Amino acid sequence: MMKEISLKDLCVSDCNVRRAVKLDTEDFEVLAGNIEAQSLICPLVVRPSEDDKDKYEIVVGQRRYWAMKSAGAEKAPCIVVELTDNEAIVKSLSENLFREDLDPIDRATAVERLHKAGYTRTQIGNMMGVAPATISSWLVPLRQHPKVTQLVREGKISRRVAERLVLFTNTGEEQVAVATEIAKAGVSDHDMQEVFRVARKEGLTPAQVIEIIKKTEGEPVIKTVKTLNECVVSFPPRMFKRMEALCDERGMKETDLIRTAIKFYLEREGY
């Protein structure tokens, strides 16, 4: 059923996937500006409140609701539907699933609520149109230490790095220790992915990874040089500095030095 409802009679449902909406972003300001100029085109999806028969809970459209309030609107077009809590979570999750600004913690929390309600990961995946393995990966952020989650929300480390930290460390304290050093050193996402790859290959501990980060002194953790048909060769800072010194000493380019070294290695190994 479609109807116009006063914003005063609307509230955000506890089943809404978005637990927090950023109101100070450029996208939000644009949305509020469009609503002020053209009014709201896409209606909100709401359900009757169980606590107050004259109120409605927003299941889908929380950002539009706050944008309308910001634009000074008094009423919003709404689609009123009867939904159980689980149905409301599924509806909200499916509507927001692939939006870039959906917080992974919010998504994980919604999936966990469905899981606790008795849905299997396969069933949730079928409802969302994704594989059960994807559902499992969505739950990883719930294993993050709250301080790591805060660093992610502050933009000091990436979500991808935070998720890798969960898989790389054994305790919340280790997560916080590594994440703090990453944020302090300003290590890039690309560099940290390379560090995790090397750490897994070499069997490094979180403490050893922290030492690697501390020794960067503001430089990239891993430097790369393209050579031999665009093959990318990676070096830790100390080795890269030695290579630069050799280049200066011999008057060679980095790519030429690497080609020479690779040729020497292949000949020595009998290739």
What is residue 104's predicted lDDT score, i.e. its pLDDT? 82
What is residue 228's predicted lDDT score, i.e. its pLDDT? 43
For residue 47, list its beta bridge partners.
57
- Exposed, middle or buried, 56 (CB in 10 Å: 0-12/13-18/19+)? buried
What is residue 155's predicted lDDT score, i.e. its pLDDT? 83
Domain ranges in the chain are 2-98, 144-214, 223-268
The angle at the Cα of 57, spanning 53 to 59, to the nearest 5 degrees, equals: 145
Beta-sheet pairing, 56-60 with 10-12: parallel
What is residue 225's predicted lDDT score, i.e. its pLDDT? 43
What is residue 98's predicted lDDT score, i.e. its pLDDT? 67
Spatial separation of the C-alpha atoms in residues 156 and 179, rounded to whole Å: 9
DSSP 165-202: HHHH-SSHHHHHHHHHHHHHHT--HHHHHHHHHHHHHH
What average pLDDT values come out for the chain (271 residues) when binned by 10 residues? 90 81 62 62 87 89 83 87 90 77 82 88 88 88 88 85 88 93 85 83 86 68 46 57 75 75 70 60
**2-98: in CATH 3.90.1530.10:** yes
What is residue 28's predicted lDDT score, i.e. its pLDDT? 60
Q: DSSP secondary-structure letter at 8?
A: G
What is residue 53's predicted lDDT score, i.e. its pLDDT? 83
What is residue 234's predicted lDDT score, i.e. its pLDDT? 57
Taking the complete model, does pTM exceed 0.85, yes or no?
no
Contact, 11 vs 46, CB < 8 A? Answer: no
What is residue 238's predicted lDDT score, i.e. its pLDDT? 58
Contact, 161 vs 183, CB < 8 A? Answer: no
User: Which are the contacts of 179, defined by CB distance < 8 A and separation ≥ 6?
Assistant: 145, 147, 148, 151, 157, 161, 162, 165
Instruction: Tell me the pLDDT of the chain averaged across its residues.
Output: 80
